[in-house]
């Protein structure tokens, strides 16, 4: 999953919010995706989060913010989507305790409602009236919660690599385990049992699950630009402690605070015509489950990335970009027409 209100404390911090540093602009804001137009430290409940913007807020089409997975992941896998900045401002950020943001390492901050309030703090700090929110994996849950809580500020929400319910996710990943070779399935089941075998037995089986559904072996190698970007903007990287505390040890076992999380009820509270689900053909987010989510969201759309797993943004970047570009352009046209 690589992946409620208690907002008063976070919102009280908003007047402090943004301390911006403007970088040297490339001629084309999408030409060198390692160079942001501006960087910010935004005050949120628990600390400050790092935010980067490509493009100028207030110019171009409606801005978009990309919400990374985890919990505990970082923004870096969205690097290829900075090409969207030729049409609209693109906002990336690291959630608190991840990447370039502050790391207070306080479990009291590890609550979905605080992460949603974090998004709203960024919007206010940047002066964005309305934006597209694109969440991947755990970020999908935040995008859905945000769209339900702040419809007036949400042009659209994309639920990518869709995680919005732990019970659905765990049921789905256990069905996916059954599709692995018999010996791999048997090993995973043993490793999940009360007397698991040694790590050297379990780790290859877990890796086989990930190779099938979360980063397939034929995915492109990281480009030189991506490697340079990780070195420059990786910060403290992925936060395993946060991931384990909120989720658990593997993608198919939830033992943390999100073990009972379920936001499917919010699907009836959002404008379905402004919701897009996107998954990979071989995604951990199973097609059957996501089709059920679509059915609960009248007017919503579904896109499936051919050949992609849960990591389809890096595996099929051109396809992922085209889907998102088309979706946001159509929503913008609809808004311009007052529909």
Q: Enumerate the domain spans of the chain.
A: 8-174+223-336
CA gap 216, 149 in Å, rounded: 35
> Of the ranges 24-38, 114-128, 248-262, 294-308, which one carries the lowest mean pLDDT score?
24-38
- Among 23-32, 174-183, 296-305, whose mean pLDDT is lowest? 23-32
Q: How far is CA 213 from CA 67, 190, 210, 281, 315, in A?
A: 21, 20, 5, 9, 12
> What is the pLDDT of the chain when averaged over all its residues?
90
8-174+223-336 is classed in which CATH architecture? 3-Layer(aba) Sandwich (3.40)
Token digits of residue 335: 């808004």
What's the CA gap between 16 and 249, in Å, rounded? Answer: 37
**Cβ contact 134:158 at 8 Å:** yes
Contact 43, 17 (CB under 8 A): yes
The DSSP code for 220 is P
Least confident of 22-26, 120-124, 220-224: 22-26
Give the C-alpha separation, 102 to 91, whole Å: 18
pLDDT of residue 7: 29
DSSP summary character for residue 137 = T
Which positions are catalytic? Answer: 137, 283, 310
Query: Which position has the token pair 């890096």?
Result: 314
Secondary structure element (H or E) that encloses residue 65, with its range: strand 64-67
Burial class (CB in 10 A: 0-12, 13-18, 19+), 291: middle
């Amino acid at each position: 999953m690589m992946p409620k209100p208690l907002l008063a404390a976070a919102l009280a911090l908003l007047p402090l919010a943004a301390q911006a540093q403007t970088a040297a602009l490339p001629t084309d804001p999408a030409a060198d995706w390692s160079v942001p137009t501006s960087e910010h430290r935004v005050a949120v409940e628990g600390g400050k989060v790092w935010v980067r913007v490509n493009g100028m807020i207030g110019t171009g089409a409606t801005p978009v913010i990309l919400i990374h997975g985890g919990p505990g992941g970082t923004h870096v896998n969205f690097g290829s989507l900075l090409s969207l900045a030729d049409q609209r401002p693109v906002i990336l950020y690291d959630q608190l305790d991840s990447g370039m943001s502050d790391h207070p390492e306080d479990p009291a901050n590890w609550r979905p409602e605080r992460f949603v309030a974090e998004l709203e703090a960024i919007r206010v700090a940047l002066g964005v009236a309305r934006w597209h929110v694109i969440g991947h994996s755990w970020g999908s849950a935040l995008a859905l919660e945000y769209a339900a809580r702040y419809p007036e500020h949400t042009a659209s929400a994309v639920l990518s690599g869709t995680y919005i319910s732990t019970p659905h996710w765990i049921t789905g990943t256990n069905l996916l385990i059954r599709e692995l070779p018999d010996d791999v399935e048997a090993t995973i089941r043993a490793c999940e049992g009360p007397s698991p075998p040694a790590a050297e037995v379990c780790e290859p089986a877990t890796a086989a699950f990930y190779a099938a559904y979360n980063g397939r072996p034929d995915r492109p190698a990281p480009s030189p630009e991506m490697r340079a970007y990780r070195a420059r903007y990786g910060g403290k990287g992925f936060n395993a402690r946060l991931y384990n505390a909120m989720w658990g040890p593997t993608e198919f076992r939830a033992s943390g605070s999100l073990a009972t999380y379920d936001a499917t009820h919010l699907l009836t509270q959002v404008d379905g015509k402004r919701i897009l689900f996107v998954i990979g053909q071989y995604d951990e987010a199973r097609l059957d489950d996501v089709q059920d989510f679509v059915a609960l969201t009248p007017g919503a759309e579904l896109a499936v990335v051919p050949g992609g797993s849960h990591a389809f943004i890096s595996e099929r970047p051109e396809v992922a970009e085209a889907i998102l570009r088309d979706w946001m352009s159509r929503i913008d046209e609809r808004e311009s027409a007052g529909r």
